[in-house]
């Protein structure tokens, strides 16, 4: 049923990603009334040099 696209900075560990998708899947299934198997999550890792906020690249922020 739902497909959730997540964009985040690269650098998370595999364990962090596992915990994240587990928590999001459980919350989505409970909230939407669907099975866990119906929830798809796509993680896109973005380099800080490829993301900007307020006209400044995140790689340039301290």
Per-residue pLDDT of 23-44, as tens digits, reads: 999 999 999 999 999 999 999 9
Do the Cβ atoms of 3 and 42 come closer than 8 Å?
Answer: yes
Q: Is residue 62 situated within a structural domain?
A: no
Q: Domain containing 10: what range?
A: 3-49
At 33, which CATH number? Answer: 3.30.429.10
Is 56 part of the annotated catalytic residue set?
no
Task: Tell me, yes or no, whether 30 lies in a domain.
Answer: yes
| Residues paired with 57 in a beta bridge | 52
Give SS3 for 25.
helix
Is 42 inside any structural domain?
A: yes
Can you give the pLDDT at residue 44?
98
The answer to the question of residue 61 being in a domain is no
Rounded to two decimals, what is the model's pTM?
0.88
pLDDT of residue 1: 85
Identified catalytic residue from 2, 21, 43, 58: 2
Residue 59 belongs to a domain: no
Instruction: Give the separation between CA 62 and CA 50, rounded to whole angstroms.
Output: 16
Alpha carbon separation from 33 to 1, 5, 19, 41 (Å, rounded): 10, 19, 21, 17
Please state the rounded mean pLDDT for residues 5-23.
Answer: 98
* Domain presence at residue 8: yes
- Total number of domains in the chain: 1
């Amino acid at each position: 049923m739902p497909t959730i696209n997540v964009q985040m900075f690269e650098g998370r560990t595999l364990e962090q990603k596992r915990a994240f998708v587990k928590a999001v899947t459980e919350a989505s299934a409970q909230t939407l009334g669907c099975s866990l198997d119906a929830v798809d999550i796509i993680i896109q890792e973005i380099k800080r040099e490829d993301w900007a906020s307020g006209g400044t690249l995140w790689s340039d922020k301290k």
